[in-house]
């Protein structure tokens, strides 16, 4: 075997062992009958799924996660689009520095962002709630949304907007009839990626929330209490939704790539 084959085999094996096997085990245990999630497989059962659906706290948290994810992603996409559009079209004097400033939060650890927001909210007298969690998620997702949209605002897109103006469109008409629809796949992709990140996010959600919490925080609390196989069902659900969103993004980008490639 040549070195390349060895390297490829090693890489694939590790990917499977460290990424897919844990997920597969989790999914399997969510359908396993019995209180202790240990091998061997003891027979198929939906009791943990039923237990999850019956758990009001879990279901509330699921709803909270969806609301926080959707709202914070919407805000991040909106602000990211406006920043990208302004930077690409108005070309302000210090565009490079502004771009750096917008991207900089990407390099800050979530826990530091959470602490900073916690102090700020404390200082201005805003209590911890789902709103503060949403603001935190908008903060961490803004750079990503900005970068995705900015990358799609090149010279060709500028010419397309110029053509709209040339044919009589006002600034608002060009924005609403041409720019936004033209960027629709990028905006949707940014939204779903932001949603996925918010959906999985724990540190900020934990530190900035109080009574109402998101799903990862409830999972954390349950983990601390006792070993409950219901968590396997919750984990499987969280994973399934994340994967579903990733597939949506991949399809969007694939279709788009074909149209523009």
Partner 1 sequence: MAEPIVRLDGICKRYDGAAAVERLDLDIAAGEFLVLLGPSGSGKTTILSMIGGFALPTEGRVLIAGEDVTELPPAKRPTATVFQDYALFPHLSVRSNVGFGLAMRRVPKPERHRRAEAMLKLVGLEGFGDRSVHQLSGGQQQRVALARAIAVEPKVLLLDEPLGALDLALRRQMQEELVRIQKRLGTTFVHVTHDQEEAMSIADRVVVMNKGRVEDVGPPSRVYLRPASLFTASFMGESNILPGEVVEATANAAWIKTAAGILTVPATAKVGETVTLSIRPEQLQIGRSEGGIALGNGRIRETSFQGTHMRARAVLPASGADVLLRAPVSANLAVGDMVELSVRPADIAVLER
Using CB under 8 A, pick the residue from 100, 184, 220, 254 that binds partner 1: 184
Nearest-approach distance from CB 260 to partner 1, in angstroms: 7
Between 4 and 156, whose beta carbon lies closer to partner 1? 156
For residue 146, give both structure tokens. Answer: 């900005």
Q: Does 163 bind partner 1 (CB under 8 A)?
A: yes
Give the Cα separation of 69 and 216 in Å (integer).
12
Cis peptide bond prior to 56, omega within 30° of 0: no
Site for partner 1 in 57-116 (CB under 8 A): none
125: DSSP letter: T
Dihedral angle sign, alpha carbons of residues 90, 91, 95, 96: positive
Give the Cα separation of 256 and 261 in Å (integer).
8
Give the Cα separation of 191 and 142 in Å (integer).
10
Q: Burial level of 5, CB count in 10 A (0-12/13-18/19+)?
A: exposed
Between 50 and 163, whose beta carbon lies closer to partner 1? 163
Between 33 and 171, whose beta carbon lies closer to partner 1? 171
Going residue by residue from 141 to 160, which x/- string records binding to partner 1, judged by CB under 8 A? ---------------x--xx
Q: How many residues bind partner 1 (CB under 8 A)?
A: 19
Q: Does 260 bind partner 1 (CB under 8 A)?
A: yes
Using CB under 8 A, pick the residue from 178, 194, 219, 238 that binds partner 1: 178
Q: Does 43 bind partner 1 (CB under 8 A)?
A: no
Number of CB atoms found within 10 A of residue 171's CB: 12
| Contact set with partner 1 (CB under 8 A) | 156, 159-160, 162-170, 173, 178, 181-182, 184, 259-260
């Amino acid at each position: 075997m040549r070195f390349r084959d060895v390297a490829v085999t090693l890489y694939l094996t590790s990917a499977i062992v460290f990424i897919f096997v844990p997920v597969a085990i989790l999914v399997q245990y969510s359908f396993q009958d019995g209180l202790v999630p240990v091998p061997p497989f003891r027979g198929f059962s939906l009791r943990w799924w039923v237990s999850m659906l019956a758990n009001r706290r879990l279901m509330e948290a699921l709803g909270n996660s969806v609301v926080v994810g959707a709202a914070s992603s919407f805000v991040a996409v909106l602000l990211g689009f406006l920043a990208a559009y302004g930077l690409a079209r108005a070309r302000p004097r210090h565009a490079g520095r502004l771009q750096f400033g917008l991207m900089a939060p990407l390099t800050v650890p979530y826990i530091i962002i959470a602490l900073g927001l916690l102090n700020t909210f404390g200082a201005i007298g805003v209590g911890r709630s789902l709103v503060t969690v949403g603001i935190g998620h908008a903060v961490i997702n803004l750079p990503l949304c900005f970068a995705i949209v900015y990358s799609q605002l090149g010279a060709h897109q500028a010419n397309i907007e110029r053509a709209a103006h040339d044919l009589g469109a006002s600034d608002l008409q060009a924005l609403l009839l041409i720019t936004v629809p033209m960027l629709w796949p990028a905006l949707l992709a940014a939204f779903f990626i932001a949603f996925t990140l918010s959906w999985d996010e724990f540190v900020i959600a934990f530190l900035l929330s109080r009574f109402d919490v998101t799903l990862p925080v409830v999972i954390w609390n349950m983990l601390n209490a006792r070993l409950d196989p219901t968590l396997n069902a919750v984990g499987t659900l969280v994973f399934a939704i994340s994967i579903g969103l990733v597939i949506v993004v991949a399809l969007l980008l694939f279709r788009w790539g074909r149209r523009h490639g």
